[in-house]
Structure 1
Amino acid sequence: MCFMKELMVRAVYCEMLGYEASFSYIHAIKLAQQGTALDKRVGYLAVSLFLNESHELLLLLVNTVLKDLQSTNLIEVCMALTVVGQVFPKDMIPAILPMVEEKLNHPKEIIRRKAVLALYKFYLIAPNQVQHIHSKFRKALCDKDPGVMSASLHIYLEMKPESYKDLVVSFVTILKQVVGGKLPIDFNYHSVPAPWLQIQLLRILSLLGKNDRR
């Protein structure tokens, strides 16, 4: 299995150089399905790089993702949520949506953040299937972890501003906290408090303020 992991890394490198390594795709899925945590991690990484949402081989990974989402191992849950948020086919969303929503209440912030990003991806590829998740994003906007909060902002750049006009005060409050240096120092970039988060909030506020002078 360790040997296969090394071969998979080389296959990823070949594809990065522009050479097709489609013969290795099935082995990437097998690696994600079994082996140690590190083996699975390499397998999941290869799958996310090799395959797209419409690839037929993804169906072979569905049961593995469902199993890993129920795992007590945080690394396995993280890997499964990452793949779900990157390449999961939209026709399989109904089967996995309840589990992803459940992860929004997870005690670990990294799990909540990845769950928010997965739901955002679902909204992009199949908005009609996830109309009810808007309330989930409103809750995530108030999450005590800044990473989860910032992840929840993405969807507001895609929605119609009229549907969340009542959140103006929340966005302004968050922006004031960011500019005031209230976030952990990890969010700073060259001594500037979370510049990308500031830009994202300003973009959202510009959408809300368009054609609305008040």
Structure 2
Amino acid sequence: MKEIMVRAIYCEMLGYQASFSYIHAIKLAQQGSVLEKRVGYLAVSLFLNETDEFLLLLVNTVLKDLQSTNLIEVCMALTVVSQMFPKDMIPAILPVVEEKLTHPKEIIRRKAVLALYKFYLIAPNQVQHIHSKFRKALCDKDPGVMTASLHIYLQLIKENPESYKDLTGSMVTILRQVVGGKLPLDFNYHSVPAPWLQIQLLRILAYLGKEDQGYKFVVVSEGKLRFLT
């Protein structure tokens, strides 16, 4: 069945519909070994979307895998949740995803933040109560978790910059650390320190300062962040 799923994915990539395999992809994610579940989840994420009724069959499986002691199963479930999940079923799974924000493994915390970001995009009212946890993610010791949280803050600040003015200092500090090469070398791209992260931080600062022209800043080529008042 695992090999059939791989071929069904290939057929769909070529533009041919393989709808006959959708239910088998769900069954593979529900009942297979770890490797088979991984292929099943991959197929489901490629075949289905948030409005597909087939996803309702997967909710209990995702909930069970999120509570698993197997790190790989938790990662797979969070990946599927961050890509697609029925809007009506978010309340059933939200508390479990919230718990993962304090998980000892940084990859789990990072995927949990991305899942909550997805929830915010499709049902913002359901995640209003966990903004304090977003702030903890912004201050996470792992730069990957911090970077993931910026997706949420870019959206929040874009919609209501006045409510997040107090974060300006934190964003400036993060930008200084990035420009100063404080992040691991894995974040560098062609010797440039995390260019995508720099752009995102500049966008956030632009929204924060849109209605307040009292402060301006420039990033110079020598890697120093200077401020002009």
1:1-214 correspondence to structure 2 within 5 Å: 4-159=1-156, 160-214=160-214
Count of aligned positions: 211
CA distance in 1 between partners of 2:5 and 2:141 (Å): 38
Helix, strand or coil for the counterpart of 1:181? coil
Q: Please, which runs of 5 or more residues in structure 1 have no aligned partner?
A: none
Kindly provide the amino acid, as one letter, of the partner of residue 63 in structure 2.
L
TM-score between the two structures when normalised by the length of structure 1:
0.97
Structure 2 unmatched runs, 5+ = 215-229
- Measure, in 1, the Cα distance between the counterparts of 2:166 and 2:106: 26
Whole-Å Cα distance in 2 between the matches of residues 121 and 115 of structure 1?
Answer: 10
Q: Cα offset for 1:161?
A: 1.1
Deviation at 1:34, TM superposition (A): 1.3
2: CA distance, partners of 1:184 / 1:34: 39
DSSP-derived class of the 1:152 partner: helix
Q: Take 2:211 and 2:65, find their aligned partners in 1: how far apart are those partners?
A: 47
State the 1:22 CA deviation.
Answer: 0.7
Question: Residue type matched to 1:166 in 2?
Answer: D
The share of aligned pairs that are identical, in percent, is 87
Deviations 1:118-168 (A, max 9, x none): 000000000111111211111100000000000000112212111211000
Instruction: Give 1:111's aligned amino acid.
Output: I
Amino acid aligned to 1:9 = V
CA distance in 1, matches of 2:9, 2:163: 42
Over aligned residue pairs, what C-alpha RMSD do you find? 0.7
